[in-house]
Structure 1
Amino acid sequence: MIRPFFSAALVFGMLLLAVAGAIQAAERYKPFVLASRGLGDFEKKIEETRDALRMTGFEVLGEYMPYKDTFVDKAYVIVVTNDELKKTASMSQYGGFAAPWRIGITKVGDEIQIAYPNPVYIANAYRLNNDLNGVSETLRKALGAEETFNSAKGMTTKKLRKYHYTFGMEYFIDPYELAKYGSHAEAVAVLEKNLAAGVAGVTKVYRLDLPKDVTVFGVARRAPSEDGKDMDEQHIMSVVDFSELKGTAYLPYEIMVDGKKIIALHMRFRMALHYPDLKMVGENSFMNIMPSPNAIFKAFKAVAGAPET
C-alpha cells in the first residue's frame, strides 16, 4: 500500500510542476506601464518625476516636448539610463537600443498620465540577455506601476523573442541601415553635425556613449514642411495614439552608431511592437501611416549623411 501511495504522490507532484510551468510559460506582457494618473500641475509633475528618477539612481540623458495642443493637451518625455541598462546593452546584438529608457508625461483634459515602456516586454522583444527586473523594480519605486497597457491580450516571452507584426514585416534584427564610415568617431561626428543643423527635420534630444564603440542618439522628428509630414512624430502619433492611455513614451526614436555603421530600428518593427493591436486597415490603422516607414528611412539616411539614391 505504501508504494502505490508514494507513486501516486510523485505523479501528482509532477503534474503540479507541469501546470505551474505551463502557467509561467504562458505569462503575457504588455508594451507600457502606467505609473500613475490623476489631477495635478503639469510642470510640477515633470519636476517631481525628474527628481524621483534621479533619487533612485537614474541619470537623465535628455528631455523634450514632442508636441502640445494637438490630440493631447501637453506631452513631455524624460529619457534616463542607469548602470543595469548600460551593462545589459553590451551583452547582446543591438542591445544599445534598450540602454536609454523613456518616461512620458501626458496631459489629457484635466488628467496627467505618467507611463514608461515595460522593461520585461522590451527585454524580450529586443532579445536581451537580462530580463531587466531590476529596472522594473527601480521604476516602480520611483514612479509607480498601476497597470500595463497598449495590448488587449499581451504577448508571451516566446512570441516577443521572435516578434514581427505579420508575414513579410521586419524583425528586431532587420534595422534600417543608414550609413557606414571609416571609424566610429567619424560616424558620430557626422550625426552630431547634421542633428545640430536639423537636417531633414531631425534633431538631437540626447546622446549616450556606451562601451564597444556604441553611441545612441535620441532624435525628434518635425517635418520641415507639410510635404514631409509622413516622417513627423506628431502626425504619426496623432494617428496611432488614440486610446485612453497614451503611449507618449514611444518617443523619441533612437539612431545608433554601432561600430562604424549607423542604424535605427525599422518603424514597421518598432511601431508595431509598441502598438501591437493596431489594425492593418481602417480608422487609426497602419494604412493611414503607410508612407511613414519609408519617409523615416529617408530622413534618417539624410541625417546620417548618406547620399540620396
Structure 2
Amino acid sequence: MKTTRSSYKSISLSYMVAIGFLVLFCSASFAASTKMKPYVLASTSKVAHATAIKQTQAALTKAGFSIVGNYVPYKNAHIIIVTNALLKSTALKSKQGGFGATQRISVTLVKDEVQVAYTNPSYMFNAYRMKGDISPVANSLKAALGYVKEFGSSYGMTAASLRKYHYKIFMPYFDNPILNAKFDSHNTAVTTVENNLAKKVGGVSKVFRLDLGNNQTLIGVRLTKGCGGDKLIMDRIDKKVLKSTAHLPYEILVSDKKVMALPAKFRIAISFPSLSMVGSNSFYSIMCAPGSISKALTKVVGKS
C-alpha cells in the first residue's frame, strides 16, 4: 500500500493535536489537584525590622503594586495592604469578589529574625470564589519579594476544596456573610461606616479604604475590644514558628447599598485551616470571638 506525502502530513498533524490535548489535560488535572496553603514565606533575614519594612514597601511599589494601607496590630508586627489593576478588575467579576481585592504582606520580627510573608494569591482567589486568572499577581509577588515555601496549613487544599470550604458541619461558607445592612445608597452606606470608624464605635477603627468602582468599596478595620480584638486572637492561635500575621486586618465590604463582612467562623478558619477545635491554642480558646466580632461590626454599620 502506497502512502502519500499528504497522508504523512495528516497523520503527523493528528498526532500533534492529540499530544497537545494530552498535555492540556494533564496540566489541568495537575492544577486541579495542586494543594495550596494560605501563606507564602518570601524570606527570612537578620536585618532591622524597620529596614525590612521599608525594603518590602519599596519592592512592592517597584513591582507595580499600590500600597493602600499599613497596619501595626501589635509589637513587632507590620502588615502592608496592596492592590493593583488586575486585583481590582478581578474582584469585580464575581459576587463578593471585593473581599479578594487586596493582598496582605506581613513583616514580622520573631526573636532576632524578620519573616516576610504574604497571603497566597491562588489560595485566596479560590477561597473567595473569584473568576479569572490570578497567576500574574502571584508571579509579581514572587518576583518582588521572593519565595521560600507555602505555609499555614498541615496538608493544604485543592481549588475545588477551597471553593466549597467550611470548617465543620453547620459552620458558615464564604457566601454566608454577616451584617447584611442595607442603606438608601452606596454613598450613604460608605459614609455611615466611615463616620462610625472615625468615632471608633465598638472599638473598631479604619486601617484602609479601597474604592473599586461599580459601587464596591473594601474597608480594612482594626478590632480592639474584648474577645474579638486582633491582638487577643493572634496571641492565642498564632503559635507556630512561621507567623500568620497576614491574616489581619479584618474587612468590611460595601457592595452597592449593602454592607457585609465574612463571619469569623469562616474568616479565621480559612486563615488557620489546621487549627484544632479543642485544646490549647485552638478554636475553643477563641470561642467568644465570632460573637464579639459580629457585635462590634454591627455597631459600625449603625444597626444597634
Tell me the TM-score normalized by structure 1: 0.89
Task: Tell me which of 29, 35, 38 is aligned to 1:31.
Answer: 38
Report the equivalent of 2:72.
65
Report the equivalent of 1:43.
50
> Counterparts of 2:289 and 2:196 in 1: how far apart (Å)?
21
> Counterparts of 1:180 and 1:83 in 2: how far apart (Å)?
28
Unpaired runs of 5+ in structure 2? 1-10
1:113-170 residue CA offsets vs partner (Å, 9 max, x unmatched):
0111100011111111024101001101111111000111100111011111110011
1:223-269 residue CA offsets vs partner (Å, 9 max, x unmatched):
2xxxx2x1100000111110010011111110011111110011111
Report the equivalent of 2:200.
198
Matched, 1:234 2:228: no
Aligned-pair CA distance for 1:26: 1.7
> Counterparts of 2:96 and 2:26 in 1: how far apart (Å)?
35
Q: Give the RMSD, CA atoms, in angstroms.
A: 1.9
Aligned-pair CA distance for 1:177: 2.1
Identity, % of aligned positions: 45
Structure 2 residue matching 1:63: 3-state secondary structure = strand
Task: Tell me which of 258, 262, 275 is aligned to 1:278.
Answer: 275
> Counterparts of 2:96 and 2:30 in 1: how far apart (Å)?
30
Spell out the pairing of 1:224-303 with structure 2 (5 A cutoff).
228=226, 230-303=227-300
Tell me the TM-score normalized by structure 2: 0.91
Structure 2 residue matching 1:29: 3-state secondary structure = coil
Structure 1's consecutive aligned runs of 4 or more residues displaced over 6 angstroms after TM superposition are 13-20
Aligned-pair CA distance for 1:24: 3.8
Spell out the pairing of 1:145-224 with structure 2 (5 A cutoff).
145-223=147-225
Task: Tell me which of 66, 91, 94 is aligned to 1:92.
Answer: 94
Length, aligned pairs only: 289
> Counterparts of 1:258 and 1:117 in 2: how far apart (Å)?
23
2:168 is aligned with what amino acid? T
CA contact (8 A) 1:33 1:145 kept: yes
C-alpha change, 1:175 and 1:43, in structure 2 (3 Å) is same
